[in-house]
Amino acid sequence: MSASISHFSPPFSESSIASSISLFPGAANNFQLSGGSRLVLHGGAGSFCWRFRGLKLRILKRLNRRQHAPANELKGIRNQDKVQSENPSSNDEQYSEAASTISLSNGLAEEHTRTTSQPKTSTLPPVTTSSLNLNVGDNHGRPSLCIAVIGATGELAKKKIFPALFALYYSGFLPENVGIFGYSRKDLTDEELRSLIASTLTCRIDHQRDCGDKMDAFLSRTYYLNGGYDNKEGMSKLNSRMEQIEGGYRANRIFYLSVPHEALQDVASSLGDNAQTKKGWNRIIIEKPFGFDAVSSQLFTKSLLSKYEEKQIYRIDHLLGRNLIENLTVLRFSNLVFEPLWSRTYIRNVQVILSEDLSMPRGRYFDGYGVIRDIVHSHMLQTIALLAMEPPISLDGEDIRNEKVKVLRSIRELEPSDVILGQYKATSQDKVDVSLSSRIPTFFAAALYIDNARWDGVPFMIKAGVGLIKHRLEIRIQFNSVPGNLYRERLGHNTDLTTNELILRDVPDEAILVKINNKIPGLGLHLDASELNLLYKDKYNVEVPDSYEHLLLDVIDGDNHLFLRSDELAAAWSIITPVLQWIDQDNMAPELYELGGRGPVGSYYLWAKHGVRWADD
């Protein structure tokens, strides 16, 4: 029988075949490389059955994995080919996987079909998908994926990153042999790091099966390294430790940079020079804010691109990991009822609202960056870009990013009269940070216009603030009034109250609402504006994953559509830079508002100026 070598583009030499089959004793005497890149197996029937039983099992496992693997495993298999180009040097290691990636000839394929379809007569032990894990067998228990958290003892790492990684591990979205590395400047041992993060790990409420065992397994694969104060030396140590745990096998690496922003550039540069693997792909995750202004952001981007390719860089904003954001494209592009209406012809205005009450703690950097750099620059503008973009040619991350950046570049330059800034008034008795500079806004409202054919003349109203009356995150799309409405006399004078509206709400209760007009039951003709309500907690009895879980899984899968590309970053800075300059030049001062109130009064006037009904609090 013979097997055709068609999986790899480089031709196989006799020496490479011998190296690949050296894992099987006596195999070299039964292989011969013939013309046409065909591998000929020869020998007695008995010898073949016993000597190559291991090879056969391995091939069958590979086939069975591709046929019956769960959706998340199949996604990982497909992504292996997609991301192979991220590190061309990894092709040198492909020979070690030759035995598991040979394309079978018809004879062997038929034998596999007979074996799997008639298990009662099979001479081989059954292969079950529950025992299969991506790349586990190929690495002999060594990690096929390593994730390093730089700044592992910080609050973000302890409260968000490690719990999100464990949630993915518990749910089966990380390989069983994953390696988790914590890196910081504190003098800790592996066990001390495990104890530090163990108290923050929880199992799914809707699962809870084998929780203790899964937690122990996760913690046993968690390691710590004290990097010291020399980042170059520290990253070299990290690389050595990761190589030690990987055992020389092919493994991919993800680096999450949870470090102070003033140290970010040096850490990223040192990591790029000293800790990237040459035996797989590397990806780096960077937390917002992405620079203090356009100039600093441009310099940092230039530094990053000197060490990494664009496709390796993932600029993360946890607010973009909310289910509301992911649902934007699903709702629009998978429902015929919405897409034809998605333009200035039918939509009157769009409101994007994010308000946080006193229960939402801010990061320590907020005093220096404020709501504009922290929330508006990334979350608000990215939400508008996803909502207003043209249909992409596919759901590939780059195709979606291409459309998003077109929207950002089409946003009209802001005028001072279309911007309202605010800052809450706080006293020492209030349980909030009162060290805010007089120029740092805690509230931002603006009217944006997109100068293109689809959205010409439609105001996009954005409002973002902290210290407000309630925590709220929603998008409101108000439609135009019905031309020549036959029921206008029944609707009353305030037609805004009876205008159709689509509301996508994330907080306080995730829901999709559609406001319509209908007749009140009974005699006579009385109209009422009602809501068609899809409340997620009533419809779906599942626990909603944290946004960090969603975004980390996207990084693992190579899905980058919710992460800012460098050109998107530059386009966003060009929108908000004029506002920052007005603040620096004292040409615009924040309006004070009561802590726990509704925000600056000026924002109500701004909404009225652009003919938009204020969304009720």
Catalytic residues: 379
479-483's contacts with Cβ under 8 Å and 24+ in sequence apart are 479/341, 479/346, 479/347, 479/348, 480/345, 480/346, 480/347, 480/348, 481/348
In 3D, which of 535, 467, 540, 527 has the Cα closest to residue 499?
527
The CA–CA distances, whole Å, from 52 to 95, 108, 575 equal 18, 13, 64
In 3D, which of 485, 430, 395, 446 has the Cα closest to residue 580?
446
94-99's contacts with Cβ under 8 Å and 24+ in sequence apart are 94/8, 95/16, 95/19, 95/20, 96/20, 96/138, 96/250, 97/138, 97/250, 98/5, 98/8, 98/12, 98/16, 98/17, 98/20, 98/21, 99/20, 99/21, 99/23, 99/24, 99/55, 99/58, 99/59
User: Do the strands 472-479 and 501-507 form a parallel or antiparallel pair, or are they unpaired?
Assistant: antiparallel
Which token pair is 72? 């998340």
Task: Please report where in the chains the tokens 């203790």 appear, as a residue.
Answer: 212
Please give the Cα distance from 379 to 357 (Å, whole number).
Answer: 18
Amino acid letter, residue 245: I
Amino acid letter, residue 67: Q
Helices (H) and strands (E) in the chain, counts: 21, 18
Q: Is 24 helix (H, G, I), strand (E, B) or coil?
A: coil
Identify the DSSP state of 182. E
C-beta separation of 360 from 466 below 8 A: yes
Q: Which residues contact 297 (CB under 8 A, 6 or more apart)?
A: 290, 291, 569, 570, 573
Backbone angles phi, psi at 417, to 5 degrees: -70, -15
Quick one: 480 exposed, middle or buried, by C-beta within 10 A (0-12, 13-18, 19+)? middle
User: Do the strands 472-479 and 347-356 form a parallel or antiparallel pair, or are they unpaired?
Assistant: antiparallel
In 3D, which of 572, 579, 574 has the Cα closest to residue 405?
572
In 3D, which of 431, 463, 420 has the Cα closest to residue 588?
420
Instruction: Report residue 6 CA to chain centroid gap.
Output: 34
Identify the DSSP state of 522. S
Neighbours of 435 (CB within 10 A): 8
